[in-house]
Amino acid sequence: MPDNAQQLLHLVIGGELEDLENVTFRDLEKVDIVGVFPSYASAFAAWKAKAHQTVDNAHMRYFIVHLHRLLDPGQDAKLAH
């Protein structure tokens, strides 16, 4: 990534959910922390790979968390200008 590129961190996590109606993990000790990625595109690729590996388990879900929005909530507004 070039030195002047904006770093937009994304976290990919997943695990088995208690039910299909809520986002409550069945066992927090078994949550799969896939990794932190410098862009949405790289996070999406990791998410997609993990999601495809677990396609046979309907209760298994993976998520992309926009860490940059948590670390700097005003960042999206700054980027829009």
Asked if residue 1 belongs to a domain, the reply is no
pLDDT of residue 75 exceeding 90, the answer is: no
Domain that holds residue 45: 10-80
**In total, how many domains does the chain have?**
1
Residue 5 included in any domain: no
* CATH number of 45's domain: 3.30.70.2400
How far apart are the C-alpha atoms of 51 and 48, rounded to whole Å? Answer: 5
Give pLDDT, residue 3: 55
In a domain, 2, yes or no: no
Inside any domain, residue 64: yes
pLDDT confidence of residue 53: 96
Q: What is the pLDDT of residue 81?
A: 47
Amino acid identity at 12: V
| Half-sphere exposure at residue 37, Cβ-oriented, CA atoms within 13 angstroms | 20
Q: What is the DSSP letter of 72?
A: -
| Position 4 in a domain | no
Task: Provide the pLDDT for residue 49.
Answer: 97
